[in-house]
Chain A
């Protein structure tokens, strides 16, 4: 287990290294920030001074080496726009995105698994067919459109929920959270549901497919032949088996929830990382873009690692193979 873990961590570090090169090169290709940052009336000398101060006069490989040596000391450079450490800027927006993503994930799990289980257990009932049809809408309608419709219906016409911002926040451990206040939760609800809709449909369909498949297995019939109550057969024998693919997918999807909250955050004006990255791309604020992308890379790598470990907890067969 330990060697396996060490090997996995080493692999993860290699991926981070490779990604840093890709990200750095890609960001340098998409455009010249100087054009955006400097007013057209600036003289040639002012231009040169600014370029030198940003370190953009050096060759790309040198810029990269500087970036890596800074990164190893925990700095990803200063934002061109805010002149603050880029990493700090990204981190200051992290809690907003994180709480949104976690709430969306919770909605996806708490609604998706029970509905999927129901649809899997009663495949022919009207309710199940309605649920399945709804789930097709859930992952085929574009997020931005659903978000706009939700704002129109629930915020504008019914006036039940606010349409933008984080609402009232509470500071805990120096970080501002929305989910701890009633007003904040109200503000979170629409964007979280919007963000959750796709994952919810996916969890639902995954659960239903897993339930249908597992129910036909001999061990389920054997469990019933032992005289177990249906609650135990479904709740333990079936559910524990279908949790394996669901945990895998959800672990990876948490990463994409955070990474792709961009659309939802933009529509609901949620001041998270997604909003920051969109704004930064407009002004070609390279350090912030790089810092954000590197953080997403780290996030995915870490989540993959956690999923692998969780997987081995859930599935004893994986546990044994990984030891050898």
Chain B
């Protein structure tokens, strides 16, 4: 199961190539993810950033194979440890899910089944992939709870979800995702619903767990300040496409895409105290009737005729890719 050859160590854990996930609705085809490519190395953290509806969660669900009709992965490759996940059968995919690839959801109040005890939900996750006794599975569950910083895990095991706070529930969900020490964890805004202090604790713990076990992590969020402190690489998504990606320092410090500027400008910071926060005007476009060309141009101050064509991908500096005709060095505001 965990035979790691030498080539395995060098090749990235996950390589997504030109992924397209479309939803075939009555009103037309919704291109939720429209040609997304990125790689995540072993033990590395990728921050996937964007507004609501930019397709970042759908990207995550595409990787773990939980896209339900009318949605479908229409093209692209998802190479996970050199296997193309989009070609696997549902049964093969199920054996990877929760085992080699795990996912943490956004709302801890909703991810645990309200009518099942914590131990039931953890033991079933262990037994889904390992043939061991219930006692061993329970012991493994208890250890996992201890690992994510839950005090008196033995007592918590026999609790129901509603008896735990939101932060505790999210730790339980993280513990469940760590049960099989997966190679990849997809975290879909796991700290958005939590207090800032709890958020910081959980970020630190997840970072440590990923480093210790060599787990690759995709951290989906709309919060750039989280990404700044956590991720190695960052990819900024807009309307189903990645508009800017690369090393976290170069993207955040020397951002070039007007949309990334907008995102950075809308984060409150102490340096720019008492100044009005910069807003990105307008709303995310309706993905159902997206005109060709740059999807951001209707909200962009620098847009011109050229933007009615699809912008090509350029590489202004090593490990920093961009999809824009008018890269901006300075903040627009």
Complex: how many Å from CA A115 to CA B173? 33
Query: Knowing A227-B99, A227-B125 touch, does A219 contact B112 (C-beta < 8 A)?
Result: yes
Binds B, one of A41-49, A294-302, A310-318: A310-318
Question: For residue B107, which residue of chain A has the nearest CB?
Answer: A218
B90-127 interface mask toward A, CB cutoff 8 Å, 1 = contact, 0 = none?
00001111110011011100111111110001001100
**A278: interface (CB < 8 Å):** no
Interface stretch of the complex, out of A20-28, A84-92, A232-240: A232-240
Q: How far is the CB of A94 from chain B (nearest CB, A)?
A: 35
B284 nearest CB across to chain A (Å): 22
Inter-chain contact B124/A226, CB cutoff 8 Å:
yes
Q: Given A225-B64, A227-B129, A232-B124, are A219 and B113 also a contact pair (CB < 8 Å)?
A: yes
For B106, what are the chain A residues with a Cβ–Cβ distance below 8 Å?
Answer: 218
Give the distance in Å from the alpha carbon of A214 to the alpha carbon of B95 in the complex: 24
Tell whether, in the assembled complex, residue B116 and residue A224 are in contact, meaning their CB atoms are under 8 Å apart: no
Bound form: Cα–Cα A317–B160 in Å: 8
Contacts of A236 in B (CB 8 A): 116, 124
| Chain A residues with CB below 8 A from B213, complex form | none
Complex Cα gap A226–B112 (Å): 11
- Count of chain B residues near A, Cβ 8 A: 31
CB distance from A221 to the nearest CB of B (A): 6
Which residues of chain B are within 8 angstroms of A218 by Cβ–Cβ distance? 105-107, 110-111
Is there an interface contact between A222 and B124, defined as CB atoms closer than 8 Å?
no
Within 8 A of A (CB), among B120-172: 121, 124-125, 128-129, 160, 162-163
Distance A168 CA – B160 CA, assembled complex (angstroms): 51
Q: Output the nearest chain A residue to B125 by Cβ-Cβ distance.
A: A226
Q: Which of B114, B129, B162, B163 contacts A219 (CB 8 A)?
A: B114
With A219-B114, A240-B115 as contacts: A226 and B107 at CB distance below 8 Å: no
* Interface contact A221-B105, CB-CB below 8 Å: yes
B66 at the interface (CB under 8 A from A): yes
Can you offer 7 A-B residue contacts whose CB atoms are under 8 A? A219-B113, A221-B66, A228-B124, A232-B128, A236-B124, A317-B160, A320-B163
Interface residues in chain A, defined as those with a beta carbon under 8 Å from any beta carbon in chain B: 217-219, 221-229, 232, 236-237, 240-241, 244, 314-317, 320
